[in-house]
Amino acid sequence: MTMTNIWDYFKDFFREAEQSSASRPILKECIERSPAEREAYEGWKDTLDCRRIFALLAEGYAMYQSSPNGVDRALTFLDTPSSKGFAIHFPLTEFARQDAGHFFDLLKEKVLMLDYRSDLSDTRSWSEKDWMQTVERHYLKPRQKWEEGKKINQQFGNITIELTLRNDRPHLLTFRATSYSDRLYGDAKELHELMQFVLA
């Protein structure tokens, strides 16, 4: 590639980045962790930082149950008839990029311990006014077992785990279970059951 071609390539790249959006990301690809990333992840699961994230979540949920207005501002809990879950606002914590990324993958690993399957794991990036936004997503569905005369056990419904990065810094992690409302399905489990599972 000549110098002129290289320059044209970068000009095109930055022009596309400026024109990108959530619906037209400049980058969209499947998430595939390298052997080094997987090794780092396995090591992280035994660290103090891993335990600290779970402690933050456990303490926050205990407060949410007893005094919702007293919950740490770094946490939000969601409990509606159709959606249940939580969010961690990372700028209000001291956790690093690697902590957020590893916790994101650990939540997926936990869900797969149930009778769930991974439907999609992808990442999308686009340009906002003041930062480059990246959203990593794991989307998981319960395995469905059909039995004559019985409603399907949907467990928690579909589960979406998203990690939002701004200029590669962790901004927001959301864990959301969305239930099926179809009459073919039994009732989804409640938020306290979801949190009990996540924190186990």
Walking along the chain (200 residues) 10 residues at a time, the average pLDDT comes out as 50 52 77 97 98 98 96 97 97 97 98 95 92 95 85 94 97 97 91 96
* Angle between helical axes of 191-199 and 48-66 (0-180°, round to 10): 160
Please give the Cα distance from 154 to 140 (Å, whole number).
12
Q: Note the pLDDT of residue 147.
A: 80
Please give the Cα distance from 161 to 184 (Å, whole number).
25
**Is there a contact between 188 and 97 (Cβ–Cβ < 8 Å)?**
no
Give 2's contacts (C-beta < 8 A, 6+ positions apart): none
Taking only the tens place, the pLDDT of each residue in 39-76 is 999 999 999 999 999 999 999 999 999 999 999 999 99
**Is there a contact between 113 and 197 (Cβ–Cβ < 8 Å)?**
no
Which pair of tokens denotes residue 147? 């039995």
Q: Note the pLDDT of residue 171.
A: 98
The model carries a pTM of: 0.87
In the chain, at which residue ranges do the beta strands (DSSP E only) sit?
Answer: 27-30, 75-79, 83-89, 116-127, 132-142, 158-166, 169-178
Instruction: Compute CA distances 48 → 8, 44, 45, 51, 68, whole Å.
Output: 47, 8, 9, 5, 27
